[in-house]
Amino acid sequence: MIGLNRNAAVNERPKAILFLIITAVLWSLGGLLIKSVNSNPLAIAGMRSGISAVLMLIATGKPRLNWSFAQIGGALSYAATMLLFVAATKNTTAANAILIQYTAPIYVALLSAWLLKEKVKLLDWLTIVIALGGMVLFFIDDINMKGVFGNILAAFSGVAFGLFAVFMRMQKDGSPIGSVVLGNILSAVIGIPFVFRDMPDQKGWLCLVILGVVQLGLPYILYSKAIKHVTALEASLIPIIEPILNPVWVFLLLGEKPGNWAFAGGIIVIAAITGRCVIAIRSSQGPSVSGGVEG
């Protein structure tokens, strides 16, 4: 029986890695699709989350809700991540929005010390300093107020993203998917009323459907299946495809080019976070669980 289980796990592994790659590629379409909808950012975020919530309920069934502090905190931080990321993408370049949000592991380290009582190591502080240094470079290119405002929104989105990861970790023995569904519903309740104030055109509605189904809903379903059959290193590093591809699609199809300083800052942020993940996982002696969420 053990041999059969082992063979099944081996057979599932290539499919799981493929699911992770597909997930990251689909997540990376966010910048392009958000910028293609001519509507209020809150309306875009609300419709995307509403459609995603419906798809997830159909695919996974009714989530188990216990209304714990962690589950509610996860839902609130998830909704904040969705709303802030879309608003950031509308007010700065797609590259800035996704790469600044990618500083979330910095806040996870800080918040873990506070909420989970986990010790922050010297390497964590070094990573934080390097990543924050890279983050400063994003603001050099954006001398206009709209760009700076978008970068600030992206930074808050990273904080919310980090909070979400911590609250999800607090639910390792509970029902973390409940936070995602509740967060989508909350984001929809907040954002959808703005649709009636700033109605999208026909192209915008098509992009909203793709955002909800293809860019957010389907990837979460694939990710939840893949995470059971891959290593923590793979689960941490494969999704890095998202922040790399996100600005590429926007540049190729919309012509939006990140500034040179922002490009350099993005490389620093990704290198710092990736290096920290690799060192942490390789130095870990026991099994670890990794999870994530996209903006």
From CA 24, how far away is CA 294, in angstroms rounded?
9
Domain range spanning residue 68?
2-283
**What CA–CA distances, in Å, run from 250 to 29, 146, 232, 290?**
8, 18, 30, 29
Residue pLDDT, tens place only, 175-223: 678 888 999 999 999 999 999 888 999 999 999 999 999 999 999 888 8
Residue 150 lies in a domain: yes
Q: What 3 state SS string does 135-186 have?
A: HHHHHHHCCCHHHHHHHHHHHHHHHHHHHHHHHHHCCCCCCCHHHHHHHHHH
Residue 39 lies in a domain: yes
Residue 293 lies in a domain: no
Residue 295 lies in a domain: no
CB contact at 8 A, 218 and 55: yes
Residue 292 lies in a domain: no
Domain tally, the chain: 1
Residue 289 lies in a domain: no
pTM for the structure as a whole? 0.81
User: 169 falls in which pLDDT band (50, 70, 90)?
Assistant: confident
Residue pLDDT, tens place only, 218-253: 998 888 778 777 765 566 667 778 888 888 899 899
DSSP-derived secondary structure letter, 29: T
CB contact at 8 A, 138 and 270: no
Q: Could you give phi then psi for residue 51, rounded to 5 degrees? A: -65, -40
CB contact at 8 A, 74 and 184: no
Residue 102 lies in a domain: yes
Residue 291 lies in a domain: no
